[in-house]
Amino acid sequence: MANDAASTVDETRMGSIVNDWSGDKQAFQVPWGKAMMWIFLLSDTFIFSCFLVGYMHVRISSSIPWPNPSEVFALSFGGEPIPLILIAIMTFILITSSGTMAMAVNFGYRRDKAKTVFLMFATALLGASFVGMQAFEWTKLIVEEGVRPWGNPMGAPQFGASFFMITGFHGAHVSAGVIYLAIIANRVRRGDYDKKGSYETVEIAGLYWHFVDLVWVFIFAFFYLW
C-alpha cells in the first residue's frame, strides 16, 4: 500500500511538471516568462563568474606590474587628477537607475500607467548615460593611454584584454537593456498590458535590469578598487 501511495504521489508530481511546461503558461509554479528570465540570468551569472575568476587568475599570476586603477581611470580638472571620478559617477547612475526601475515595477502593479512609463524611460535614459560614459572611458584609454586588447604601455599586457572583454560584455548587456526597457515602456504607454490584465512583463524587465546593476558592483570592485 505504501509503495502504491508513493508511486501515485510521484506520478502526480510528474504530471504537474509536464502540465506546467507543456501549458506554456507557467513552470515550477512560476509564470513562464519570469521562469525563463531567471534561467537566463542564472546562465549569465555563470558567464560573468568565469570572466571574473579568469581575471583574478591572470592578475595574480602576472609577473609584470598591474596598472594602478587610481591613476589609469583618473580625470583631470583644473590640472589636478581626480582618481576614479568618472567611475564613481557611472556607479551612482546605475544605482539610481535600479531605484527608478524598482519604482516603475511598483507603479506597474498599481496600474499607474503614466508613472510606470515615465520611470521606465528614466531608467533607460540613465542606462544610456552610463553607456555613453563608458564609451568616453574607452576612448580615453585607447586614444590617450594607448591601451589595446593585445597590449598596454602602462604595465601588464593582459590588462587591456581583460578590461575590454569584461566591461564590453557588461556594456552590451546595458545597451540591450536600454532597448528592452524602451520597448516595454512603449507597450505600457500603448496600453498593451491593460488589455492583458497584468504588468508582470515590467517586473521581468526589472529583474534583468537589477541583474545588470548587480554585476557592475562586482566589476567595480574587481577592476577599479583592487
Q: State pLDDT tens for residues 177-208.
A: 999 999 999 999 998 887 777 788 999 999 99
Cα distances from 36 to residues 9, 21, 32, 106, 169, in angstroms, run 27, 11, 6, 21, 21
pLDDT value of position 183? 96
The residue among 136, 131, 132, 161 whose CA lies nearest residue 67 is 161
- Taking the model in full, what pTM does it have? 0.84
- Which amino acid belongs to residue 146? G
CATH topology classification for 63-225? Four Helix Bundle (Hemerythrin (Met), subunit A) (1.20.120)
The structural domains of the chain, with segments of one domain joined by +, span: 63-225
User: How far is the C-alpha of 200 from the C-alpha of 206, rounded, in Å?
Assistant: 10
Tell whether the model's pLDDT for residue 2 goes beyond 50: no
